[in-house]
Structure 1
Amino acid sequence: MNNGLAGKSVYAFGDSIVYGHVYPHSFVDVVAEREGMSLTKFARNGATVGADPHASGGQILTQVEQATDIAPDFVIFDGGTNDAQSIFRDRAYTLSTYAEELEKTLHVMGRKWPTARIVYVAAHKLGSRDWDTQVALREATLQACRKWDVAVADVFGETAFDTRDDTQRAKYTFDDLVNGFPGTEGSGTHPNEAGIATFYVPVVSATLQQISSR
């Protein structure tokens, strides 16, 4: 039972969690395959919501601006993961600047594809980022999503995925490939296939099904 998702189109924006890090088959690929959706992925490793001149992936806003004007049925995106480093470690910009850039990104999405339903994916609790910065970014992001009527697939809040727990970090995240596939013992940022299947796919699929039935 696909609740009407089969045949729908989805554009995906964001950072390496959406792209897939060194294995470009992320949770959005798995969700699209399972639900029979057509996926176009614009995410880039190292991307940020705010403008950090040192961020390797540029801004997520740029991904949105460069995407086709043809509207998808759904837009999925993440953000904040690399912003946590830009804000806490690099002091590249402030939380308020992040919030402004996020609003700008949501505005451009809504103007460009007024019929698309937008889903923000809140990544898992990251042992690889400063905790207070993560929490502050989360609050700012959820506030913007409420304002812009953006659905939230809340892996952070609705699952037990927390790589501050060293057992989970080792089991569910990867940095490198082993025999061509994501391994284990990662830094805590990039979910491997087990992390994706256990935590990301159920939450994202349920969110898509929920908003598609409205």
Structure 2
Amino acid sequence: MGTGLAGRSVYAFGDSIVYGHVYPRSFVDVVAERAGMTLSKFARNGATVGADPHASGGQILAQVEEAPAAAPDFILFDGGTNDAESVFNGRYDVGTYSAELEKTLRTMKRRWPAAHVVYVSAHKLGSRDWDTQVALREETLRVCRNGNVAIADVFGDTPFDTRDDIHRAKYTFDDLVDGLPGAEGSGTHPNMAGITIFYVPVVTAGLEQISSS
């Protein structure tokens, strides 16, 4: 894209929105391919920031700890999507989430101090309790800003909102159709339209801004 991203390396951590759900490609794959970046993706479906024994993907912190020592140029990560269910169900509170997020960021910066860290907020989710989403979002933004972490704010900077049934049906998927993400999803996982229209421009712009600064 002519902005210094080509040839740069990126590690991606998080949950199914970063992994791709039942499809092996997500927004990070599209961003990296279009920009000519080298992607290493460590995200796991069902992952959480906080420790929840009921969550299927373990903690994002474990992804960070188990990744190679070689330093990437950029780190992209998400979090909070599955934590919203954990907090809503009383498995831990927002304060516990916040402390684990701080620990995760400290671990990233200890392991790769020169890497540029970017948090990618998920879109507005009709599949999660709204008040819990907002509470976790506010705490995540606070922790990221205090930690000098850039924010690619899909939640705040795009209209993607699966509380709107048209958005849910058009831009999210649960299952594959002929090997590709379908539509009419539950509102959590963006399909290729949701990825390319909403996620890719915001994340790419964030990376380009860092690269050119």
Letter in 2 for 1:92: R
Match of 2:84 in 1: 84
Contact 1:13–1:63 (8 Å) recurs in 2: yes
- 2:188 matched to which residue of 1? 189
What's the counterpart of residue 5 of structure 2? Answer: 5
Cα deviation 1:169-207 (Å, max 9, x = unaligned): 000000000000000000000000000000000000000
Matched residues, percent identical?
A: 75
Partner of 1:143: 142
Alignment deviations for residues 24-75 of structure 1 (CA, whole Å, 9 cap, x no partner) = 1000000000000000000000000000011100000000000011100000
Secondary structure of the corresponding residue to residue 188 of structure 2 = coil
Amino acid at match of 2:195: I
Displaced runs of 4+ in structure 1, greater than 2 A? Answer: none
Structure 2 length-normalised TM? 0.99
**Which consecutive residues of structure 2, in runs of 5 or more, have no partner in the other structure?**
none
The corresponding residue for 1:122 is: 121
Q: CA deviation at 1:213?
A: 1.2
| 8 A Cα contact 1:48 1:82, kept in partner | yes
Q: Deviations over 1:136-161 (max 9, x none)?
A: 00000000011110000000000000
Instruction: Say if 2:168 is the partner of 1:164.
Output: no
Contact 1:51 / 1:59 at 8 angstroms: preserved in 2?
Answer: yes
Aligned to 1:72: 72
Q: Gaps (5+ residues) in structure 1?
A: none
Task: Give the C-alpha shift of residue 2 in structure 1.
Answer: 2.9
The 2-side partners of 1:37 and 1:73 are apart by 10
Following the alignment from structure 1 to structure 2, what is the Cα–Cα distance between the partners of residues 174 and 159? 19
**1:110-132 deviations in whole A, cap 9, x for unaligned?**
00000000000000000000000
Paired residue for 1:50? 50
Number of residue pairs matched? 213
State the TM-score, normalized to the length of structure 1. 0.99
Aligned residue for 2:25, secondary structure, equals coil
1:61 is paired with a residue whose SS is helix
Q: Distance in 2 between matches of 1:94 and 1:130?
A: 14
Aligned residues: CA RMSD = 0.5
